[in-house]
Amino acid sequence: MKPDLESILFRKFKEGDYAAFNSLFTKYYQPLFLFAKKFVAEDMAKDFVQDCFYELWKNRKKIEVKNTLSAYLFTMVKNRCYKYFEREQFKAGKLNEIEFRLKQEEFNFFLNSEKSVLEFEIRDRIQNTLQKLPPKCAQIFNESRFNGLSNKEIAQKYDLSLKTVEKHISKALKIFYNEFKEHTYLLFLLNFKNN
C-alpha cells in the first residue's frame, strides 16, 4: 500500500525539509487557530498555534506520532491554551475554582469528542478522496452525498442517463470504502441515502 501524501510530507519534514513543513503549516494552521480561538483571544490563539509549530520544527527529529498528526497538533494547542488558563487566569484569581474546573471539562470534552477533534481531518480526507476520482465521478458523487440531490435530479442537471449516474456513484463508493475503513459510521452515512 502506497503511503499517503501526509505521511510523505511528515517523513520529509522530520528529515528537515522546510517545504514539507510549510505544507503542513498551510494545511493545519487555520483549523488549529479556530480551535484555539474557542478558548482564548484571537491574537493569543495565533501566538499559541505559531509557538506550537515552532516547537514542532525544533523537535522534529524526536517527535513520535502515535495516532494521527492532526490529533497530535490539536493536543499541543489544547495543552498550550490549558496551561495559559491554569497559570495566568486561575493563579491570578481571575477565575474562581468552579469556573476553572468548568473550563477544564470543556477542554477535555472538546478534545475527546470524536466529532470535534477529527472533523477537520475527516473533511480534509474527504476532499483528498474526491480528488482521486475522475472529475465527472467526483462531481456526481459530491452532488449526491454532500449537496443532497437525488440520482434523478443529477441525471437531469447534467443530461446523463440514470444508469450512468448510478455507475459513477457506485465507483466513488468503492473508493471511499477503501479510504475510510476505520470510520464505519461515515461509510454508513455515505451509503444510506434515498435516491
Q: Place 100 in a pLDDT band, splitting at 50, 70 and 90.
A: low
* Per-residue confidence (pLDDT) for residue 109, from 0 to 100: 53
Domain range annotation of the chain: 5-119, 133-191
- The one-letter amino acid code at 133 reads L
- pLDDT tens across 137-181, in order? 999 998 988 788 889 999 999 999 999 999 999 999 888 888 777
Say which CATH topology domain 5-119 has.
Rna Polymerase Sigma Factor; Chain: A (1.10.1740)
Rounded to the nearest angstrom, the gap between the alpha carbon of residue 100 and the centroid of all alpha carbons in its chain is 28
Nearest to 69 by CA among 110, 36, 20: 20
Length of the chain: 195
pLDDT at 116 over 60: no
Interior CA angle at 176 toward 23 and 144, to 5°? Answer: 105
Residues whose CB falls within 8 Å of the CB of residue 63, separated by 6 or more in sequence, listed in order: 14, 56, 72
Identify the CATH class of 133-191. Answer: mainly alpha
- pLDDT tens across 15-59, in order? 999 898 999 999 889 888 888 887 788 999 999 999 999 999 999
